[in-house]
A and B are shown apart, each in its own frame.
Chain A
Amino acid sequence: MSQDTLERLRERFPTDVIAVDRYRGDASATVRPESLLDVARFAKDDPALRFDMLLDVTAVDYIGQEPRFEVVHHLYSTTHHHRLRLKARVPEKDPTLPSVTPVWVGANWLERETYDMYGIRFSGHPDLRRIYLYDEFEGHPLRKDYPKEKRQPLIGPGSRHGASVVDEHPYAVDLPPPVHDKGMLGSELMRIQLGPSHPATHGTVRIVVDLDGETIVNADVQVGYLHRGFEKECESGFYYQAIPYTDRLNYCSAILCNVGYCMAVEKLFGIETPPRCQFLRVIAGELARIADHFVCLGATALELSAFTPFLYGLQARELVWDLVDALCGGRVTSNYIRIGGVSADMPGGFADLVRQNIPKTLHLLGEMEGLLTENPIFRARMEGVGRLPAEELIAYGVCGPLLRAAGVDLDLRRAQPYLVYDQLDFDVPLGSHGDNMDRYLVRVEEIRQSARIIEQCLRMIPDGPVDTDDPTIRWPAKSRVYTRMEELIDQFKQVTEGPKPPPGEVYVGTESANGEIGFFLVSDGTGKPYKCRARTPSFSNMQPLARMIQGRLLADMVPTFDLINMIGGECDR
């Protein structure tokens, strides 16, 4: 299918498409920068391609080459379920590329991030501000010539600019102009800042809203308060050293991030993992998904002042985390998956423990539902709130429960089955209205389906090794390291040099609890990734929040924000 994609692109744009490539099943096309917008428009509108979702925009810095930067767009088609990587090279002197925001509105934040991290300017972008870093930050940190150790003063009194910054911008931000600048009664609009540390913005995010009375006229969502340079860290360590960092992307469902990253590295190596390992990954991943959904539902209830369901939700999550703890050795940051395997097999009695705890969890879920689903106050706050049409959500790159609540059948476990999901029997819940109530109900149902998947996996899991038997990837068995010279040398080589994948670039998208988490890896043949990019669902799901709450009451912001389930670590990386 992807061959067709590339051929079709070449056929239509014989001179503009410079090169096409297929590596490990990933189709990628390099186009001339000036014709990027035409190609993008064609890729979106052509019925055979129909790439209606822009998953990711990022860049790769090939320092020393000319043109230096390669801007990479990852596209996905929600009708044909195929992918395309669209690349364009821009020179160091004038790193300017046409913005694809006219085609996919979701490119807005992604291009801002690329501008922030690489200094690539996008002509025609409506609002090209820095997104993660502050305006006074000098340089672009993901460029290869920006040293990782470099420190810069933070803004505020005592910084490089001294107090003048505060004087010039007294905590004000430049928002795009509001729809109307006078309130209903002819009064001025009131600007309110929610966050970065507001009880309702768990995680750190700032939402600046212009209010006309209680109605939100204009909103600007500002992320980046938890930015800690995940990608830079990954580039400076070996492949195996990034696994604990992926735990800290989505700390509510760390294992799903582990799985996504390790699958990307395995694709780079071109290896398959043994069946038992794949089943273990599914079990661990679904446990994490249950925990994540419980946090989301519980926090939503809590912020609507329903404290009891929150406690039931956390109790249920605690039961799940007991299982994760017994399996992985850590509750939140599990560090369980390894490249080519998992860190440990199931401990004895684990299956019984699961069969004991999961029914209790589902019972608690039922109680939570009993308190919430039909409660008139809860319903009044949820029904019809935060609605956005499915087409617009897709254009924003929204995926996961949010999109499924709008009735779009997109679950990568079903659309592009990976691991052993094609052997399992489960339902994909879909909503009909696309409002917060549907988002809530979809998550509730997904917990039940995850429990079903775990039960099936426990029944079907075969015996056998949990690691790939490729000695260039997995570390040698410890008993032999203790006693034999060859394995000892091997262990030293593995730890100090890391496994070295062949040069190439891959993208793997998996279904995490909030949507597609994708890892884009570029290898230059050394033990460290040349580029490690995480496409995280929280980031793209947060983008349409401003649209969802526009014209609604301020109080509607809270449940909408909660059901997006933004995880700061994942959104800000």
Chain B
Amino acid sequence: MATRTVAVARPRAASQRTTLGMWLFGARAILKGMALTHRHFLRNLWGFIRRKPTVFTVQYPEQRLPFPNAFRGMPVLVQMDNGKERCVACGLCEWACPTDCITIYPAETADEIERHPEVFDINMSRCMFCGLCEEACPEEAIVMSHNVEISAFSRRGTLWHKDDLLVPVSKLAPRLEHIRGSYDR
């Protein structure tokens, strides 16, 4: 196909107009702009009267927008139905993490899956929600959730431990479905 160059069209320069023409032109441009903003104002006012708001702004936190399935919020650990984590403490997410925000101490248990993380900490002040941990995980044990409201009053509060990170598998169904679709090809 073809690309070509085009010259941008500039408004006529002042030297090409008379002073009166310049004034009229300027006045027209300003009136045009005012008409535009007033149109927006009246439309929004009409929407307000009819109780069908046309305003683009979302009144967070009272109103919330739905997240798309692909959305990556904070990483969480998948909790199996027996209340245990699915993680086997292999450490791949620790390797993949560019910011080194994950800390894992592996340990052994008497359960059927005999390896688990004794400590699984994520430093949320360093995490950048890139999702590489999720992509690296061979067990579908760490996934990105839709939770982004993780502000804390102290730096200590940004350190999330294993118990805080566990989320029941039933709540993560849309995300699990999404990653099965996108990482399986």
Residues of A within 8 A of B (CB): 233, 237, 240-245, 247, 308, 315, 318, 325-330, 333, 335, 343-345, 347, 367, 370-371, 373-376, 379, 383, 409, 411, 413-414, 421-433, 437-438, 441-442, 444-445, 465-467, 475, 477-479, 481-482, 488, 491-492, 495-496
Contacts and interface: CB of A to CB of B under 8 A. Distances in A.
A315 B139 CA distance: 40
Q: Which of B32, B71, B90, B98 has the most CB of A within 10 A?
A: B98
B98 A428 contact: no
A414 B4 CA distance: 8
Contacts of A411: 3
Given A376-B30, A431-B8, A491-B138, A345 B36 contact: no
B128 interface: yes
A371 to B, nearest CB: 5
B68 interface: yes
A311 to B, nearest CB: 9
A229 B94 CA distance: 22
A371 B25 CA distance: 13
B66 to A, nearest CB: 11
A430 B8 contact: yes
B70 A430 contact: no
Contacts of A371: 33, 36-37
Contact of A492 (B92, B144, B182): B92
A425 B3 contact: yes
Interface in B1-54: 1-11, 13, 22, 25-26, 28-30, 32-33, 36-37
Contacts of A433: 10
User: Binding site of A, secondary structure by majority: helix, strand, loop or mixed?
Assistant: helix
A491 B136 contact: yes
Contacts of B147: none
B138 A347 contact: no
A442 to B, nearest CB: 6
Given A370-B32, A428-B6, A437-B10, A477 B70 contact: no
A467 B9 CA distance: 42
Interface string B124-151: 0000111110011011100010000000
A427 B4 contact: yes
Contact of B71 (A243, A329, A437): A329
Contacts of A347: 68-70
Nearest to A343: B182
A426 B181 CA distance: 34
B94 to A, nearest CB: 10
